[in-house]
C-alpha cells in the first residue's frame, strides 16, 4: 500500500529545512573529502556484519600496546536534541573514512570525519507529539548502510517510528524512497494503530539490511504495568531498500488460520499484543534466512489473558529473507511470565561439532542459557530437554508444566536466586541475608511470580535485567568461540497486585503489598525531545527493605562476567569478572577487614563486547575511584584465548553502548559510546599514539 496521506506539517517543514541545510555543498564536499580507500577497514553494520559477530580482524591495537591507547577525538551529542542524553547506546558505522551514527535525545543522524570527529552533516526529524509519545525514545542503537555500488544510503528508524533513507554523502532524504525519503511504519502494518501520534510502537534497533531488503522490528512500553493486554502486536516487516515498498510481514502473533494460532487458547491471540522483535535481526545471506529473536507477549509477569504456549512469543524464528515465510522456529520459553524476553541478536556461527562442520545459530539470553541450533533446520545441536518446572498459584494464571533447558553449553550466568547465591563474606552477613530474604521467595530459574503479600513481598530474581540484555554477544568467526557479557547481580523483587480502577485491564500487575499500585514508567517513554509535562503520581512512602545487606549486594560476586563459550564443543572456555570491584564494595569495612577480595565485576546490563584478531574488548559501566586512577571507568582488553587481561585504558565516562573498531589511513581506531552520572552522551575514539 502506498502511503497517500501527506506528512504532518511539522515533519514536512522539518524535511524542507533539513533538505535545505543538507543541500549546501560544504556538507557534500566535506563528506567527499573525508572519504578514502587508503588503509581502510570498515564496520558497515551495527554488529559488524549481519551474522552478529561484532568482530573485526584488526590487530594494530593488540596486547602489547593496548595500554598506550589515547583519545584521538571526542564527539559530544548534547546538541542533537533539546536536552543532553545520558543513555547513549548507539554503535557507529565506519564506511571509507566516514563515521555514521545516531545520537542525542532527537535521535539525529550525523556523519563525522572518522579521523578527526569533525561533523560533516546532520539530519533529524522533529516529530512533535508522536516522538513524545514513543515507547522508545533517545538515540537508539544505531543505523544501517546500503550501497549498490552507485547509490549509498543511510537507513534508520526515528523515535516516532518512521523509516528514513538518506543520501550518505549529503544527509538529504532520498526522494525515491517512500514519501520524500520517509516510510511511515505505523501504517501498512496489518493492524490499525488508531491515532498515528499515540499508536503504541517504536524501536531502538538498527534496521537489518540485506541485498534489497530492509527488516524492521517493533518494541513497546515496558510490561510491568501495561494499560491493556490488547496493545499493538509486534509484527516484523520487510521493505524494499530502493522504494520503501513493503515486501512482507511476519505475524509474530498468528492471525486466525495461521500456524501457531491454536497455541493461544480461547482465541486469545486476537486480544494480546507485544511479541515484537526489539533486538537486532541477523541474516544468513547464503541460506536466505533472517533470524528473529521474538520477545514476550503482554504482560511481562502475568499471562492470564493469554492461556497457552503463545507462539511466537519468546521463540527464535527463521524466516525466508525474500518472502517472510517461516522456515523453522523454536520456542525457548513457553507462556513467558518472567520478563526473560529474547534480548540478544542471534549469532550465526560456523563451527565443527563432533568432527563435522556445522552452520549454527547461537542465542545468549537473560536466563544465562546459550541456545544452539542448526541454523538451516532449527534442530538443537545438543539436546534441549523439556524439564518440569514449578507451578505457581497466581489466580487466573496459566502455567506451562515444562520449559526447555539446554544440556550444553552449561549455564553461563546466575539465573536463579537461592540460598547458595546469597552474600557470605562473613557468617553475620549471611545471617542478615537470610533474615532479609525470609520476606521474599527464592528459587531457581523459572520460579513463578507470586501475588505480593505482607509476608512475602515478591520473588527475588534476575528476570528483567539479568544475564545478557540488549548488547547481546559477539564471536570470532575463525574459531567458533562466542564472547558474552552477563550480569550476575541485576536482581530485583517481583510481586503482583490488582491495579486500581482505570490503570489497566489486566487483573494483576507489578506491585508491592502495602504500597499503592502505580503506573511504572521507564526512560524509553515520555523521554524524547518533545515530551510534555508529566501528570503527578500518587505518593507513597516506606516500602520493603532494599535488597542489600549492610550496604553490600545481596548476592555473591561475580556481579558481571564475560564468558568465552566454545560453540564447537558446547563448553565454557573461560570466564572472567568484568569490571573493577565497585567502590562501595571495595571500601566496605567488612571487605577491608578481609584484606580485600578478588575483582567482582560490575552489575549492569549495558555491556557489549568487541572482538578483534587477538582481543576481546569491553569498557566498564560504573564509575570507580581507585588508587590507580581518578574517578572514571576503564576500557579493558582480554586475551581471546585465555581471558587474561592484557591492557586497560582510562575513560573519563562509562561505556553505555557497544564499542566498534575501524581503520583509516592504516590507523586503527576504537569508538566507545559513553554516558552516565554527570557525563552526557559522547563518542570517544581511541587510537595509538603517533602520526595520523
Partner 1 sequence: MRALLTLIPLACAVAVAGTAIAQEAGKSVWQGIYTEDQAQRGAGTYAQRCGACHGAALNGTGEAPPLIGGEFVSHWDTMTVGDLFDRVRTTMPQNDPQSLTREEYADVLAFLLKNNGFPAGGQPLDKRSEVLATIGITAEKPAGL
Residues near partner 1, by CB under 8 A:
76, 78, 83-84, 86, 132, 222, 224, 464-465, 492, 515-516, 518-527, 531-534, 536-544, 546-548, 551-553, 582-585, 587-588, 603, 622-625, 630-632, 652-653, 676-680
The per-residue b/e assignment along 38-74, b for 16 or more CB within 10 angstroms, e otherwise, is: eebbbbbbbbbbbbbbbbbebebbbbeebeebeebbe
Where does 114-254 show beta strands of DSSP type E? Answer: 119-123, 144-147, 152-157, 162-167, 182-184, 208-210, 213-216, 236-240, 246-250
What does the alpha-carbon distance between residue 287 and residue 319 come to, in Å, rounded to a whole number? 10
Closest to 686 measured CA to CA, from 673, 674, 664, 670: 670
Q: Which is nearer to partner 1, 138 or 610 (CB)?
A: 138
Q: Three-state SS for 31?
A: helix
Q: Which is nearer to partner 1, 150 or 678 (CB)?
A: 678
- Least distance in Å: CB of 586 to partner 1? 9
Q: Which is nearer to partner 1, 115 or 509 (CB)?
A: 509
- Contact assessment for residue 99 and residue 112, using Cβ atoms and an 8 Å cutoff: yes
Q: Which is nearer to partner 1, 132 or 648 (CB)?
A: 132
Contacts 24+ apart (CB under 8 A), 508-512: 508/301, 508/302, 508/304, 508/394, 508/395, 508/396, 508/451, 509/224, 509/225, 509/226, 509/299, 509/301, 509/302, 510/224, 510/225, 510/300, 510/301, 511/452, 512/452, 512/457, 512/458, 512/543, 512/544
Q: Which is nearer to partner 1, 4 or 627 (CB)?
A: 627
Q: Which is nearer to partner 1, 221 or 375 (CB)?
A: 221
- Contact assessment for residue 685 and residue 635, using Cβ atoms and an 8 Å cutoff: no
What does the alpha-carbon distance between residue 126 and residue 12 come to, in Å, rounded to a whole number? 9
- Least distance in Å: CB of 161 to partner 1? 18
Cell of 581: 570491584
- Least distance in Å: CB of 654 to partner 1? 9
- Least distance in Å: CB of 75 to partner 1? 11
Residue 506 neighbours by CB under 8 Å, 6+ apart = 226, 228, 229, 298, 299, 302, 304, 305, 499
- Least distance in Å: CB of 501 to partner 1? 18
- Least distance in Å: CB of 531 to partner 1? 4
Q: Which is nearer to partner 1, 74 or 385 (CB)?
A: 74
Q: Which residues pair with 460 in a beta bridge?
A: 493
- Least distance in Å: CB of 297 to partner 1? 18
- Least distance in Å: CB of 253 to partner 1? 23
- Least distance in Å: CB of 634 to partner 1? 14
Q: Which is nearer to partner 1, 131 or 315 (CB)?
A: 131
Where does 220-271 show beta strands of DSSP type E? Answer: 236-240, 246-250
Q: Which is nearer to partner 1, 294 or 491 (CB)?
A: 491
- Least distance in Å: CB of 546 to partner 1? 6
Would you give the DSSP letter of residue 129? H
Q: Which is nearer to partner 1, 538 or 598 (CB)?
A: 538
Residue 627 neighbours by CB under 8 Å, 6+ apart = none
Amino acid at each position: 500500500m502506498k502511503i497517500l496521506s501527506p506528512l504532518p506539517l511539522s515533519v514536512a517543514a522539518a524535511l524542507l529545512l533539513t533538505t535545505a541545510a543538507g543541500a549546501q555543498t560544504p556538507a557534500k564536499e566535506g563528506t567527499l573529502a573525508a572519504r578514502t580507500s587508503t588503509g581502510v577497514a570498515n564496520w558497515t553494520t551495527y554488529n559488524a556484519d549481519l551474522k552478529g559477530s561484532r568482530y573485526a580482524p584488526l590487530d594494530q591495537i593488540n596486547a602489547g600496546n593496548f595500554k598506550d591507547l589515547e583519545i584521538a577525538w571526542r564527539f559530544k551529542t548534547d546538541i542533537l536534541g533539546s536536552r543532553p542524553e545520558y543513555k547513549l547506546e548507539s554503535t557507529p558505522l565506519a564506511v571509507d573514512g566516514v563515521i555514521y551514527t545516531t545520537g542525542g535525545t532527537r535521535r539525529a543522524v550525523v556523519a563525522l570525519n572518522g579521523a578527526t570527529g569533525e561533523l560533516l552533516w546532520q539530519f533529524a526529524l522533529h516529530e512533535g507529539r508522536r516522538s513524545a509519545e514513543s515507547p522508545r525514545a533517545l538515540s537508539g542503537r544505531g543505523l544501517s548502510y546500503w550501497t549498490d555500488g552507485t547509490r549509498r544510503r543511510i537507513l534508520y528508524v526515528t523515535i516516532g517510528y518512521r523509516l528514513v533513507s538518506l543520501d550518505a554523502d549529503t544527509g538529504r532524504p532520498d526522494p525515491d524512497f517512500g514519501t520524500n525519503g520517509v516510510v511511515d511504519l505505523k501504517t501498512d502494518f496489518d493492524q490499525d494503530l488508531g491515532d498515528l501520534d499515540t499508536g503504541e510502537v517504536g524501536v531502538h534497533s538498527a534496521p537489518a539490511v540485506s541485498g534489497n531488503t530492509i527488516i524492521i522490528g517493533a518494541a513497546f512500553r515496558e510490561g510491568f504495568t501495561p494499560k491493556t493486554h490488547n496493545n499493538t502486536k509486534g509484527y516484523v516487516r520487510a521493505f524494499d531498500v530502493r522504494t520503501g515498498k513493503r515486501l512482507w510481514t511476519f505475524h509474530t502473533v498468528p492471525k486466525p488460520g495461521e500456524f501457531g494460532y491454536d497455541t493461544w487458547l480461547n482465541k486469545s491471540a486476537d486480544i494480546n499484543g507485544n511479541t515484537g522483535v526489539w533486538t537486532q535481526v541477523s541474516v544468513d545471506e547464503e541460506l536466505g534466512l533472517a533470524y528473529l529473536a521474538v520477545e514476550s507477549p503482554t504482560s511481562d509477569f502475568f499471562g492470564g489473558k493469554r492461556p497457552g504456549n503463545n507462539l511466537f512469543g519468546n521463540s527464535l524464528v527463521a524466516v525466508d529473507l525474500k518472502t517472510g515465510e517461516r522456515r523453522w522456529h523454536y520456542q525457548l520459553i513457553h507462556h513467558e511470565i518472567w520478563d526473560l524476553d529474547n534480548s540478544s541478536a542471534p549469532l550465526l556461527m560456523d563451527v565443527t561439532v563432533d568432527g563435522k562442520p556445522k552452520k549454527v545459530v547461537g542465542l545468549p539470553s537473560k536466563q544465562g542459557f546459550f541456545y544452539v541450533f542448526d541454523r538451516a533446520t532449527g534442530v538443537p545441536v545438543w539436546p534441549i530437554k523439556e524439564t518440569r518446572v514449578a507451578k505457581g498459584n497466581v489466580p487466573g494464571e496459566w502455567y506451562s508444566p515444562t520449559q526447555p533447558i539446554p544440556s550444553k553449553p552449561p549455564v553461563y550466568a546466575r539465573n536463579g536466586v537461592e540460598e547458595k547465591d546469597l552474600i557470605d563474606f562473613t557468617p553475620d552477613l549471611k545471617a542478615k541475608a537470610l533474615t532479609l530474604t525470609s520476606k521474599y521467595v527464592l528459587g531457581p530459574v523459572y520460579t513463578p511470580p507470586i501475588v505480593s503479600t505482607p509476608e512475602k513481598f515478591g520473588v527475588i530474581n534476575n528476570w528483567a535485567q539479568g544475564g545478557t540484555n540488549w548488547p547481546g554477544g559477539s564471536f570470532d568467526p575463525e574459531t567458533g568461540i562466542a564472547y558474552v557479557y552477563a550480569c550476575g547481580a541485576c536482581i530485583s523483587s517481583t510481586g503482583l497486585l490488582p491495579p486500581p480502577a482505570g490503570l489497566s485491564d489486566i487483573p494483576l500487575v507489578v506491585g508491592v503489598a502495602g504500597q499503592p499500585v502505580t503506573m511504572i514508567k521507564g526512560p524509553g517513554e515520555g523521554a524524547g525531545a518533545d515530551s510534555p509535562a508529566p501528570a503527578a503520581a500518587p505518593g507513597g512512602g516506606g516500602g520493603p527493605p532494599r535488597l542489600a545487606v549492610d550496604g553490600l549486594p545481596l548476592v555473591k560476586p561475580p556481579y558481571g562476567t564475560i564468558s568465552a563459550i566454545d560453540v564447537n564443543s558446547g563448553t565454557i572456555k573461560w570466564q572472567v569478572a568484568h569490571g573493577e570491584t565497585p567502590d562501595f564494595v571495595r571500601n566496605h569495612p567488612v571487605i577491608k577487614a578481609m584484606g580485600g577480595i578478588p575483582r567482582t565485576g560490575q552489575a549492569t546490563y549495558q555491556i557489549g563486547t568487541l572482538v578483534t584478531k587477538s582481543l576481546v574488548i569491553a569498557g566498564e559501566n560504573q564509575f570507580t575511584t581507585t588508587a590507580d586512577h581518578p574517578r572514571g571507568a576503564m576500557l579493558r582488553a582480554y586475551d581471546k584465548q585465555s581471558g587474561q587481561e592484557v591492557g586497560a585504558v582510562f575513560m573519563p565516562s562509562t561505556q553505555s553502548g557497544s564499542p566498534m573498531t575501524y581503520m583509516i589511513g592504516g590507523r586503527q581506531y576504537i569508538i566507545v559510546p559513553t554516558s552516565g552520572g554527570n557525563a552526557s552522551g559522547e563518542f570517544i575514539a581511541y587510537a595509538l599514539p603517533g602520526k595520523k
